[in-house]
Structure 1
Amino acid sequence: MTEKETPSLESLFIIPREVPKTILRNLLELIYDVQVTGSQYIPKEGGALIISNHTDYLDIPVQGTYTDRKIVYLGKYELFHPQEDILRYLNHKNSPFRFPPLSLTKPLIEITLASLGEIYKANLLSWGGTPIIRNAANESDMDKKQAMEYYAKLEDYMVSLMLAGEVLSIYPEGTRSETGEMAPFKAMAAKLAIRAQVPIIPSGISGATNMSKPMAFLTGEAFKAKIRYNIGKPILPSEFPGGPEKKAAKELTEMCEQRVRQLMSAPESN
């Protein structure tokens, strides 16, 4: 008889994904007028890459809570480690916690923050989050060569996720639009789909721009916002352009950009 492995502390506090998903969806519907079309185009199983324009922080909860499949998102490292900013403050040379009597409480605060941080991170990972260093050469101790190696490994990891049957979400613009206008797509999403040979699911969102900002709530604009998220027919691997990878990725990126633009402006369903 083998001894059972003792579960980690954070694993004991994992909240099932359906709980935050249901809460977020109800909250969204309480505040906004959300309409989603085309959910049937997301495959019930198997790997896929879902792409969309990126207009606001709302894009992710709208996409994630109105689809049945778990979607894997790439999030900046800091999102998964919020306790680190507080710990830096506690240990700063001018922090009052470096001197008595507050210094007596610092060890307990550090242990508590570390534990809560691990629980928080474990839940984000369970719900589909994946931490990344967005500007590796600028925001870490990596030099340019190490940063290039990091991004190469990250691409391999994203491909492996889709090959393992996960649905990965990428916003090919690379950043949020402050105006709602879609910026040109970067080729990475197309390159990953070509490598993994999985369908690309184009989608477009409109009406969410700036609707998560405090001003939208102060003016009441958020409560009148009509957010429309349209999911389109998948682009299958059999439809991917042929030829050298760089050329094929460029052509596929143009195809994706065109599909997303169409979905952004698709008419409302009755």
Structure 2
Amino acid sequence: MNLYAVGKTLVKTALHPLYRFEVLGTEHFPKEGGVLLCSNHINALDPPVVGMTAPRTVHFMAKEELFKLPVLGPILPKVNAFPVKRGMSDREALRTALKVLKSGEVVGLFPEGTRSTDGILKKGLSGAGFFALRGNADVVPCAIIGPYKMFRKVRVVYGKPILMDPYRERRASAEEVTEVIMSSIQEILDEYSKNK
């Protein structure tokens, strides 16, 4: 068993007694090929929660400061996380993400770049659109619907893939594609927040 699988089991063991997770839409997740998984970001628990609920192994892009922490830092690379400087302008991170996507694996990121303190979806960074266009992968939007309160429901919803070929064919900009991704996340939030 690899460390990612061990970590996934540990996260489930730690979090399931505290929150009532409802996971929807995993049937939309492509079973193979490169996938850019884009989620809103409302809590520090979001990365392990997405990693725990996604049906495939996720390589997370995480802010570089986390890799400098004494305990967490050495563990992150072993669970497939890789560092990025804030703003997603880090060339090494760009190369790593594209390599993972082109090898047919899943890259997970939070396009807002930071947590939303009020739960309202913020404007996405254009890096998300860049990866979507250049990574030979389709995009799976994800919405985490909280708030994280003890023994309350936390809903994780995976939407239908956004096919990137039409945007690549007409040479859409990274900014436009990022807006499409964020709109898809917002649609999921609007639909599933009502009936929580």
How far the C-alpha of 1:155 sits from its partner, in A, is 1.4
Question: Are 1:227 and 2:166 counterparts?
Answer: no
Query: How many matched pairs?
Result: 195
How far the C-alpha of 1:31 sits from its partner, in A, is 0.4
Say whether the 8 Å CA contact 2:87–2:125 is kept in structure 1: no
Q: What's the CA shift string for 1:140-185, capped at 9, x where partnerless?
A: xxxxxxxx6xx23321221111101220011111110001011111
Match of 2:46 among 38, 49, 59: 59
Question: Are 1:165 and 2:90 counterparts?
Answer: no
Task: Give me the identity figure in percent.
Answer: 29
Counting only pairs closer than 5 Å after superposition, residues 108-187 of structure 1 correspond to structure 2 as 121=74, 123-134=75-86, 151-187=90-126
How far the C-alpha of 1:75 sits from its partner, in A, is 2.1
Q: Which residue of 2 aligns with 1:16?
A: 3
Match of 1:70 among 45, 52, 57: 57
Q: Which residue of 1 aligns with 2:134?
A: 195
Structure 2 CA distance, aligned partners of 1:135 and 1:266? 29
Q: Which residue of 1 aligns with 2:183?
A: 258
Aligned amino acid, residue 83 of structure 2: P
- Matched residue of 1:202: which SS? strand
Instruction: Work out which of the two has the higher radius of gyration on C-alpha atoms and give 1 or 2.
Output: 1
Classify 1:165/1:126 alpha carbon distance in 2 versus 1 (closer, same or farther; 3 Å). farther
How far the C-alpha of 1:262 sits from its partner, in A, is 1.2
How far the C-alpha of 1:28 sits from its partner, in A, is 1.6
How far the C-alpha of 1:131 sits from its partner, in A, is 2.4
Q: What's the CA shift string for 1:167-210, capped at 9, x where partnerless?
A: 001111111000101111122111111112210001111113xx
Q: What's the CA shift string for 1:96-115, capped at 9, x where partnerless?
A: xxxxxxxxxxxxxxxxxxxx
Structure 2 CA distance, aligned partners of 1:133 and 1:184? 18
Q: Which residue of 2 aligns with 1:112?
A: none
Structure 2 CA distance, aligned partners of 1:183 and 1:125? 28
Structure 1: runs of 5+ lacking an equivalent: 1-13, 84-116, 137-147, 212-221
Aligned amino acid, residue 52 of structure 1: S
Say whether the 8 Å CA contact 1:242–1:248 is kept in structure 2: no
Match of 1:248 among 168, 173, 193: 173
Q: Return the TM-score normalized by structure 2.
A: 0.87
Say whether the 8 Å CA contact 1:70–1:127 is kept in structure 2: no
Q: Which residue of 2 aligns with 1:207?
A: 146
- Matched residue of 1:234: which SS? coil
Aligned amino acid, residue 57 of structure 1: A
Aligned amino acid, residue 189 of structure 2: M
Q: What's the CA shift string for 1:23-71, capped at 9, x where partnerless?
A: 2113221001111111122222221100011111121111100123110
- Matched residue of 1:31: which SS? coil
Q: What's the CA shift string for 1:121-151, capped at 9, x where partnerless?
A: 2x43231111234379xxxxxxxxxxx6xx2
Say whether the 8 Å CA contact 2:37–2:141 is kept in structure 1: yes
Structure 2 CA distance, aligned partners of 1:120 and 1:198? 28
* Greater helix share, structure number: 1
